[in-house]
Chain A
Amino acid sequence: MSDVRGSMYLVLEDGSVYPGKRLGAEGESTGEVVFNTSMTGYQEMLTDPSYGGQILVPTYPMIGNYGTSEADVESNRIQVNGFVVRDDCEEPSHPLSEGTVHDYLLKNGIPGISGVDTRAITRKLRSAGVMMGIITPDDSAEAALENLSKAPRYGEFDVVGDVSTDEMYAWNGDAGERSRAFFDLRGRARQGGMGVDVERGIGQRDLGDNYMKVVVNDYGVKLNILRSLRARGCEVIVVPDDASADDIMAHDPDGVMLSPGPGDPELLDRSVETARSLVGQLPIMGICLGHQVIARAFGASTFKLHFGHRGGNQPVKDLETGRVYVTAQNHGYAVDAESLPDELNVSHINLNDQTVEGLRHRDLPIMTIQYHSEASPGPHDSEYLFDRFVGLMQEAIGTAPEKTSVVN
């Protein structure tokens, strides 16, 4: 590393200042400051579009031990506005590592700060709630607060439009495919019948005869959602966040996936309208923001959590089976259980604060989860939900006449 890393400061809107040294690009950046409790997966977090508009603080202190790799991205760029760590590793050790976190942020032009007391920040956010903050090389807190006050406030503008795709595309696998395919499919290949092409990986695998066609409405989709669908033999088409229900149905899909994404669901009237039009036409799965959009489409309301759920250790109870799953989560808003209509049943709850973590429609093939069945980063315990979604689509096809009657 040749560049000299000078001082940087994280200034929160309550006026508290946390000094450190520069990590990544030079410059100033603002965003909502949030913490995540995962111990691994910093690169997946950095590239998760749901962090758009936010400054990310991992509570785990040592970041960068295994470097960065093309195999660990969840989108085509770093999505966070800033990165705040206790200690960054300058000599990573992992066979797949292609460089340090510092270089990675630098290359992507994202400023960060290292050597900061992240535990103090976390404690503050836990008691005072998430708040806006600014990363700056300027040692004047007054100037920083002045700049921060001029910046757009998270929750008051639509971030989804920034992170969603501009054009519709068919997804056939891309960077990071091989390493991921190995993890997902080694077991499956052994159990037989997956028809995995080892040489080319799952992404380029020819679809079988009975494949499902899924349109993913991209509010800020993670690659692993696309990989998880593809791994279950689905043809995957991704459409922009502002696609209409007609645009989506024009692809003649077997099911629709409403993806996770950043920001306040109250700002997404257009997406809610689209979801409302899709209801009853075909099976729908909503993840995270997609879950909130579906709930709103049924007239439920959402609210902002004090400091959010972000991390890979959130216990969720499946109320149908009584089993507890450890889940990956990343959300600052939640669905208000009191506001749910009778036709939506709560299928999952969070054991830490009893908030809604999943919904099932009483009659229609609609399932939603507030957490991330695609993991990455986080526990793989909930991958079964993708199987459940594929099952809903298969069922819907098997009962095509009934499906028509629902539409009418």
Chain B
Amino acid sequence: MTNGTAAEMPKKVLVIGSGPIIIGQAAEFDYAGTQACRSLREEGVEVVLVNSNPATIMTDEDMADRIYIEPLTLPVIERIIERERPDGVIGTMGGQTGLNLVVDLEKSGILEKYNVKALGTSVASVEMAEDREQFRDLLERIGEPVLPSYAVETVEDAVEAGRKIGYPAVVRPAYTLGGTGGGIAMNEQELRQIATGGIAASKVGQVLVEQSLLGWKEIEYEVMRDGEGSVITICNMENLDPMGVHTGDSIVVAPSQTLNDKDYQRLRTASLNIISGLDIKGGCNVQLAYRPSSMVAEAIDEGAGYDDEGSMYYVIEVNPRVSRSSALASKATGYPIARVAAKIALGKTLDQISNAVTQKTTAAFEPALDYCVVKIPRWPFDKFPTGDRSLGTQMKATGEVMAIDRTFEAALQKAVRSMENGRGSLLW
């Protein structure tokens, strides 16, 4: 079955960069965008690039056929489209900035007006991945676990919800700014307290009681899907710091070190089901919270096993684009994620894309590592000596080091040495 991609392949494509460097969105998107531009030109596509940040490789003269260093705003992009008349636009290489711009271009009717196609993952898929309600519906539809949560209006109902969910439980007041009046309850007594305050604080007298995933293992899968529905995982990664610490602030190990095959495959299958459900065409990053299976064994012993409340993993987040983790996975495995994603955006299938490493085989394979990769974040605390050093859900790292070796211990030590903070290893 062929999909006749050659005939429909766009001739001219607009690539949107990620703009200025900020915490959480740095050089990795330059890396991805550059790879994508090269990949598109390999296919004979005329590349138009727009990025507001001139201090990037992707804005070098020979990276694209035409380069605009302009503000990444809707009116500016519209004028570029009007002038260049590209056949398609790719925003999935430019971080959240690029992705949001494509969504805005679609919604404002600009894409339709100039007959430009959003290439790769569709805007509808992006919205489904990013909208809490739509995503929840999708998970339910494809039979993946949904984090139990109950909207309640009385303290007694909150306690009842806490009994169903188990502790710790998160209390989120509805419609309050910045989550005022919420918190994490470790037991019924705390839940009563927090729920009382939360219900009072909420404008509508309602709180959401949710299961807390604090301390669960945090596992990520980098996955890739083409227009024919073939799906592969590039790499999985395990965060040394569990749920509660931002991935960008966590030591990350690839591949996962504490999952057995059944754990690994279960989460892999869940990730693939989700990107298939979202109809992703290109790269995607799936983050999961995972509870080791002894608790599951106990749950089964108690006869409470198979329902949603007994689930051992939840999807926390899906990034329907090339992400910070993709850059890490790409370097860790040698699999050129952005290069392949760009070709998928043009309509090619995984088995039509050559494997840049072997030259003989195709991009339809899963890298098998015979080594271990450790990433350690680099924080700018030396420049902000009085800054708050506690780590949480807001990313603070401004850089990172990555080390490769045959064992975890060796890779970790190499990474520590690469931090350039005067230490030779963890011990001295």
Contact = CB atoms under 8 A, between A and B. Distances in A.
Interface residues of A, number: 60
Contact of A62 (B265, B305, B308, B407): B407
Interface in B393-416: 406-408
A370 interface: no
A324 B265 contact: no
Interface string A294-323: 000000000000000001111101000111
A38 B297 contact: no
Interface stretch (A9-17, A90-98, A147-155): A90-98
A101 B228 CA distance: 41
Contacts of A380: 265-266, 268-269
Give the interface SS of chain B, mostly helix, strand, loop or mixed. loop
A189 B1 contact: no
A94 to B, nearest CB: 6
Contact of B370 (A119, A312, A378): A119
Nearest to B358: A352
Nearest to A321: B1
Interface centre among B265, B293, B297, B311 (most CB of A within 10 A): B265
A60 B260 contact: no
B261 A59 contact: no
B71 interface: no
B260 A66 contact: yes
B259 A40 contact: yes
Nearest to A180: B262
A376 B364 contact: no
B406 A86 contact: yes
A189 B369 CA distance: 35
Nearest to B3: A322
A315 B1 CA distance: 17
Interface string B303-342: 1011110010000000000000000000000000000000
A253 B228 CA distance: 37
A54 interface: no
Contacts of A317: 351, 364
* Interface size grouping (class) on chain B: 35 or more
B374 interface: no
A186 B260 contact: no
A37 B368 contact: yes
Contacts of B233: 326
A172 interface: no
A61 B351 contact: no
A147 to B, nearest CB: 30
Contacts of B84: none
Interface stretch (A190-198, A243-251, A270-278, A395-403): A190-198
Contact of B292 (A69, A94, A185): A94
A39 B368 contact: yes
Given A40-B260, A94-B258, A61 B303 contact: no
B368 A351 contact: no
A314 B307 CA distance: 34
B306 A72 contact: no
B370 A178 contact: no
Contact of A381 (B255, B272, B296, B367): B272
A37 to B, nearest CB: 4
B368 A183 contact: no
Given A40-B261, A94-B260, A179 B297 contact: yes
Contacts of A315: 232, 351, 361-362, 364-366
Given A61-B370, A122-B370, A182-B293, 5 more contacts: A44-B261, A62-B257, A95-B292, A187-B143, A315-B366
Q: Closest 10 CB pairs between A and B?
A: A95-B294, A41-B261, A37-B368, A324-B230, A313-B366, A377-B261, A322-B1, A40-B261, A59-B370, A189-B306
16 contacts: A40-B255, A41-B264, A43-B260, A95-B295, A96-B294, A118-B370, A119-B406, A179-B262, A179-B296, A190-B143, A198-B303, A313-B366, A315-B351, A315-B364, A326-B365, A378-B261
